Each structure stands twice: as C-alpha cells, then as structure tokens.
C-alpha cells in the first residue's frame, strides 16, 4: 500500500496493476463547458483493469437534485456489481487529476471503505507519460461491499439553514469566484446567483497545480487567505457536491478533520425560494 494517505503515484499504480485486492476506478465526470465525455474517453482507453464509476448513476434515484448521495443499499449494490469490496485498496482517477476523483473517493470513504487513494496527475498525466492503456471491457466478478456509513461527514439542507442562521460552522464554497459573487450565470437553469450568507470563496482550482494538490505550505496559505480558520469546523459546498470534495480533500491533507460536505450544494440552496442568498465578494 502507498505510504501517502491520499495519493498514489503513476509509478506505484503501474507497478501494482493486476494485484489481488486492488480496485482501479475511473471516476471521471465533466461539466458541459469542459467539452469532454467521461464514458466515451473510458471506452476509448482506460488504465488496465479500471472500472467506470458513473457519477450520474451512483445517486439517489428518488432525488431531483444532481449527484445526491445514494442510500447505503443502492451504493452497495452498484459498487458491488463493479467488483469492489470495502476491504479493497481502491485507486480512483479522473482526467486532469483533481476534479471529480475527490468526490468519488469521498463517497467510498463515507460508505466505509478505508483504503481509498487518488492517482496523482490523473489519466491525462498517465497518457502523457506513455503508459499502457486498454480499450477492452474490464472483466468483473461481482463482489460484496459491506457499507458502514459515516453520516457525520454529510451536511443536509436543515443543517445548512441552521449554520447560516447561527454561524456555528464556516462555509467554504468551491465554485468559481464569478458564480460565488453572482456575476456569472449558473450552469443549471433555475438557480439564483450568489452564495450563502457568511460563506467564503475557495475556488477548487486554487488548490491544485498541474493535476496535483498544492504543497502543504502553499495549500495552507491558500485556504487561510480565503478566510478559513483551520481550527474551526467547516462545511464545504459547490454546484452539485462534486468539487466541494476537493476542498474536503485539501482540509484532510492539512490535518483538518472537523468538516462535512453539503451534498445538496448550490443546486439545492440556489433553487429554493426561501433560502437567503447574497451577492458580491462576501
């Protein structure tokens, strides 16, 4: 197993390809503006033995919101059918390295898997190095994924209403600054622009460079410069709960454990008529 609690290198993964108990997960997902199709790219060429994790499918089927965390039973059924057990060493990757892979890792960890890592540099870096790809369908033997949900890592709408009203936790918003300030439109129709009162703008892109998380000293400066006190609790948020996990990952890298992810994020808050919204930088 890797000595790093969050990341594995491409060299490490290449060395361990085919090892029993190792599950490789393509957790790629993209916004329409990125002009990439995750499944098409996976089918054209993926890391050998990788299975595809569909962020639009591993969700609560009864929720009208995008990317809502599924029930324990739904998650266990889907990832079990992908051949993954909670005891596996799970390596997740996306295209650029730190976009949707952190959300995938967060979900696995919330659902009880402990040995979950992210491939540093993503498959884009893997391809740039000229490493081996496969266009063959990965052979899957269904497995049993035994879920033990860590509900304490998830914030609900009711939690957020209370936090906004009482300020007992900081809110870190991963959306781009323009959307946070309400000057750029939301990519989803019907959402108001702006942010939750008291929230801080921590654009997810400010926490990485070249597909890798910033060195810890730079990462700490970036988080604190955004107005986040690392000695206090934090709730992370974004558009639909995907890039919020990048902030959650950054907090973990900095040793901060008192944090939750608001799963509904702006897709929920910005779409309701009675939630308070403010515009501007703060």
Nearest to 136 by CA among 16, 10, 24, 48: 48
Integer Cα distance of 2 and 7 in angstroms: 8
**pLDDT for the residue 216:** 97
**pLDDT for the residue 2:** 67
CA dist 26 to 37, 38, 60, 127, 241, Å? 12, 9, 20, 14, 18
Q: What is the pTM of this model?
A: 0.96
Integer Cα distance of 175 and 172 in angstroms: 9
Run of H or E residues at 103 = helix 101-110
The CATH number assigned to the domain with range 152-269 reads 3.40.250.10
- Please give the distance of CA 131 from its chain centroid, rounded to a whole number: 25
**Which mean pLDDT values do the consecutive 10-residue runs of the chain (282 residues) have?**
86 96 97 94 98 96 94 96 98 97 98 97 97 96 94 96 97 98 93 97 96 96 98 98 98 97 98 97 84
Run of H or E residues at 24 = strand 22-26
Please pick, among 238, 250, 251, 261, the residue that the annotation labels catalytic. 238
22 CB contacts (<8 Å, ≥6 apart)?
Answer: 16, 49, 88, 89, 91
**pLDDT for the residue 3:** 76
Nearest to 188 by CA among 247, 261, 237, 240: 240
In the chain, domain spans: 7-149, 152-269
**pLDDT for the residue 181:** 98
Report the interhelical angle of 216-225 vs 244-253 (nearest 10°).
120
- Gyration radius from the chain CA atoms: 18
Same CATH topology for 7-149 and 152-269? Answer: yes
**pLDDT for the residue 42:** 98
Asked if 149 is an active-site residue, the reply is no
Integer Cα distance of 215 and 156 in angstroms: 31
**pLDDT for the residue 1:** 60
Q: How is domain 7-149 classified at the CATH fold level?
A: Oxidized Rhodanese; domain 1 (3.40.250)
């Amino acid at each position: 197993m890797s000595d790093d609690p969050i990341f594995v290198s491409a060299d490490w993964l290449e060395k361990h390809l085919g090892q029993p108990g190792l599950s490789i997960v393509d957790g790629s997902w993209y916004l329409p503006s990125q002009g990439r199709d995750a499944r098409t790219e996976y089918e054209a060429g993926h890391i050998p033995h990788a299975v595809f994790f569909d962020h639009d499918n591993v969700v609560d089927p009864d929720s009208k919101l995008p990317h809502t965390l599924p029930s324990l039973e739904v998650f266990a059924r889907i990832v079990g059918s992908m051949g993954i057990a909670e005891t596996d060493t799970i390596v997740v990757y996306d295209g650029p390295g730190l976009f949707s892979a952190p959300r995938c890792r967060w979900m696995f960890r919330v659902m009880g898997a402990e040995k979950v890592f992210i491939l540093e540099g993503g498959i884009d870096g893997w391809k740039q190095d000229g490493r081996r790809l496969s266009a063959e369908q990965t052979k899957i033997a269904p497995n049993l994924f035994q879920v033990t949900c860590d509900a304490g890592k998830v914030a609900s709408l009711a939690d957020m209403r209370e936090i906004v009203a009482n300020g007992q936790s900081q809110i870190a918003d991963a959306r781009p600054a323009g959307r946070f300030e309400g000057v750029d439109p939301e990519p989803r129709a019907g959402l108001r622009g702006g942010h939750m009162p008291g929230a801080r703008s921590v654009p997810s892109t400010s926490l990485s460079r070249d597909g890798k998380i910033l060195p810890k000293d730079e990462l700490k400066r970036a988080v604190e410069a955004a107005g986040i006190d690392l000695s206090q609790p934090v709730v992370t948020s974004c558009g639909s709960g995907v890039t919020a996990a990048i902030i959650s990952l950054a907090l973990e890298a900095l040793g901060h454990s008192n944090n939750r992810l608001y799963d509904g994020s702006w897709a929920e808050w910005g779409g309701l008529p009675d939630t308070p919204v403010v515009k501007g930088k703060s």
